[in-house]
Structure formats: structure tokens, C-alpha cells
Amino acid sequence: MLISITCILFSGMFFGFLCKKIKFPSLFGMILAGILIGPYVLDLIDDSILNISAEIRKIALIIILIRAGLKLSFEDLKKVGRPAILMCFVPAVFEVFGMLLLAPRMLGLTLREAAILGAVVGAVSPAVIVPRMIKLIDEGYGTKKAIPQMILAGASVDDVFVIVLFTTFTSLAKGERVHAGSFVKIPISIVTGIAVGLLVGYILVKYFENVHIRDSVKLLIILGVTFSLTFAEDIFGKVFPFASLISVMALGLMIKRKNRKLAVRLSLKFDKLWVPAELFLFVLVGASVAIDSLRMAGVDAVILILLVLVFRMLGVWICLIHTKLRVKERLFCMLAYTPKATVQAAIGGLPLAMGLSCGEIVLTVSVVAILLTAPLGAFAIDLTYNRYLEKKTNEKIN
């Protein structure tokens, strides 16, 4: 296991460094490193790590979302209330619709199979988007109109909506009955997730104010609490639905609301923790990519992904109607909402494991979506943010 961890760290750093040198997103290098040392090429990662890969990736996601919450403020979210809410589900609905329209013609799928494929591909990647939006908040780009905050909020909820759709469509494919309650759970889980996160965050702030401990210990306590929230969702989610990852971000939001100085100090701690977490996240995403499935991926799969992204971008544009954003700012939002990686790596292989006839195609298109959109989306954000967004000046950036 130790050798595998060494391979993950050094290969991820090396390939990430090479990509930076050629002005390409480092995450692309990390994904390539994962593919190279993963089970489908050199097979240098021990099975003990691969077996808990999903849990490790979730830990990394928790770290990013805590960082996001510590950077956000209620005032910023109030600025972008309606568009942020719409971006939680409208772009995904447009992308699923695009898949329903195109996949049967291009890949020969039934409408039900196309719906499953759309639900897998339709989620954006917080792992790609959130760190970049945090960077924009830190540097002051787009913060005057709360653009990165809006994208942060939307991307964090988008996955919850899409995963519920995926569960519903796969249940239909297996011949199970789907109740209206399956869809009612979406807003309930979001609202309860926010409420639980805010409550836990408030309790933690009061505890930290009355018990004097080092910030490093506070970080460990926060991590333990957030891990417990995700565990609680797995155990009690069917009885008491709540989105634990949204709770994680709401927790950080409450800490900043009640104690801004503490939030700044904790944010610096989590920034440092993100360095190894990012390596593990993207290298393990790369290791989960089934290279064998790429052999059956033709040009049609690539074209399909690009076309449904057009539908997603149209959905983002509609979300921004009646806002004060300029054309370039809207274009940036459309580009920033395209990367895919973590959700596709997590659920792309499930239809095949369920024995569904579309399983192989879903896995193939998921792999193409990761390899195509994760680096291109990250590259688009990095290339355009300082050209399309205004930088806040002459004010202190919180």
C-alpha cells in the first residue's frame, strides 16, 4: 500500500507539473497519471486502495466543499439568489433532454437507455469547478457580481439532482416502480441538508468560542463531523433525506457568518490540506477510467458529448436571463459549467454492474466525458476568467 501511495503522489505531482509547464491544467496530468499507474495499464495501485477509492475521493470532495463554504457569505448568495437556484437543475435538465434527443439517433439507444446515459453524463464536477471558483474569489475576479459564488452554489447542488434522476431511471430500467416521492426528495434533501449544516456549523462555532484549542485540532474536529454527516446520510438517508455534501458547505458558510476571523484561519489550513487531497482525487479518478471501454468509443461518442454540452450551455444562458451580467460574463458561466469527472467516475459503471443492456455504452461515454470535458473545461476557465470577468479593486476581498 505504501508503494502505491508513493506512486500516486509522485506520478500526480510529476504529470501535473508537466502540464503546468505547457500551460495546461495540472488536473489533466493527474488524471493521465492515474490512467498510467491504474489497473488498466501498469497496475501499480494496490487493490486495497482501489477498493476504497470512492471513499478517498469523497474525502477530497468534503475538503473542497468546506473550503467553498468558508469562502462564501450570505450576502454574496443573496445577490445571485434566483440564478443560483436555477443553475442547480436547469442545465442538467437541458443536457438530459439533449441526450434523449440525440443518443437514440447516434448510438441506437432506447429513450429509457438515453435517459440513464443523460443522468450519468449530466452532472458537473465540483472537484474541477470548486477549486477554481475559490481561486477567483480569493483574487477578486467576478466577485462584484458574485459570479464564482453563484457557480459554486449551483455546482454543489447539481449533483444531488442528477443522482436522484439516475436512481429513478435505473429503477425504471430494472422494472421497479417509481413513486412521486422519489422526486419530492430532491428539494427536501437540499433544504434539510442546508438546515443540518447551518445548525452543526453554529454549534461548532459556539464550541470553539468556549473551548480554547489549536486551529489544527479544530480542523480535525470539523473533518470528523463532516465525515459523520456523510455516514449519517448513508444510514438514515431513506428515512430522513438530506444531502450531506450540501451540509458540509453550509457548515463552512455558518462558521464564516458567525466568526469571520476563525473562518480565514481555518481556510488557510484547508488550503494546505487540499494539496495532497487534489492529487489523490484526480489520480484515483484517472485510475477508475476503464481504458478497455475506450476501444468501442468512436467519433460518435465524442460528437455526442460535445452536442449535449451545447444543450447544457443553453440551459446556463437561460438561467442568467434578466441578470446584469454582460455577454462575456455569461459566456464564462457557460464554459465554467461544463467539466465532468467525479460523478461520472463514481456511477458510470453502475448500469453495467446492474446488468443493463446499455451498461457498456454508458461506461464508454462516461469515460469519454471525463477525458474530454475535465481538462477542456478547466482550461476554458483558466484561459478566460481574467479576460471575461471584472476584478474587484480598491476594496478588501473577504
Looking at beta carbons, which pairs linking 188-192 to residues 24 or more positions away fall under 8 Å? 188/241, 188/242, 189/160, 189/164, 189/237, 189/241, 189/242, 189/243, 189/246, 190/88, 190/157, 190/160, 190/243, 190/246, 192/240, 192/241, 192/242, 192/243
Contact by Cβ (8 Å): 142, 177:
no
pLDDT in tens, 323-362: 889 999 999 999 999 998 878 877 887 788 788 888 888 8
Tell me: pLDDT of 395 over 70.
Answer: no
pLDDT at 95 over 60: yes
Structure confidence by residue, pLDDT tens digits, 26-63: 888 898 999 899 888 899 999 989 888 888 888 888 88
- Decide: helix, strand or coil at residue 141: strand
Model confidence pLDDT, tens digit, residues 210-231? 998 999 999 999 999 999 998 8
